[in-house]
Each structure stands twice: as C-alpha cells, then as structure tokens.
Amino acid sequence: MRSAIRHLAQHGVEALKAQRVESKAIQVGSQYIAKPSKIVWRSPVVSKRVAKVIRNQAIQEGTFGQFDPSTGIGWDPEWDLALMSNRFAATRFGGIRPSKKSSRERSREERAQKI
C-alpha cells in the first residue's frame, strides 16, 4: 500500500497506465540475431485493485479531490480517468448504450396507460 502511494506521488497518472516497451534484440556474433526486438506491454506499477482501495480510503477520510505528495494523503480526481478508462469509452459501433433495465421498469408506461 505504501509503495503504491509512493509510486502515485512520483509518477502520477502514468503509474496507473500500462506501458508499451520495446525489448532489445539479442545478437550472437557479428551478424546472427538470436531474438529480434519486439514490443511488449508492461502492467501498470499500481494495480487497479490497490488504486481503488486508496481511492475509497480518501473518500472515507474526506481527502478526495486533493493530493499531498509529501504526506501521500488524498486522491487526485484526474487519476479517475486512468483508473476507470473503460467506463466512459464509446465503441466504433455507437455511443454508450443505456442499461436494459428490468421488464417491470421497461413496461411501466404501458401499464400506466392501461389504467
């Protein structure tokens, strides 16, 4: 937990994002390449589960909205976009779909018109 707060203080939003890293090619001799270079994704320094625990602690303590890097107390609201990035994403097939709801809620107007 303390290391996650330290990483958030040092790196900010970047600690919550996965990083794209290019691995170096391994060369044997002067011409033969044993392994070519490839692009690899590294997992975030602070996992989403730990980040959500820290965020909920900040909400309970009333320190949500400001972050003090010297003490490591609080949560910066800008980090929410990196933490919950899939929540607000719209696909190429359309925008964010509304929830389906239960059949009782969907047919409410129809039942009201019958009365």
Each residue's pLDDT tens digit, 37-69: 888 899 999 999 999 999 999 999 999 888 888
**19, pLDDT greater than 80:** yes
**115, pLDDT greater than 70:** yes
Q: Which helix (H) or strand (E) holds 60?
A: helix 48-61
> Which residue did the predictor score with more confidence, 49 or 34?
49
Predicted confidence band at 88 (pLDDT cuts at 50, 70, 90)? low
pTM above 0.85, yes or no: no
pLDDT > 70 fraction of the chain, expressed in percent and rounded: 90
**36, pLDDT greater than 90:** no
**pLDDT of the residue at 28:** 82
**94, pLDDT greater than 80:** no
Q: Which structure tokens are listed for 92?
A: 């190429």
Residue 44 · residue 82 · CB < 8 Å:
no
Residue 55 · residue 83 · CB < 8 Å:
yes
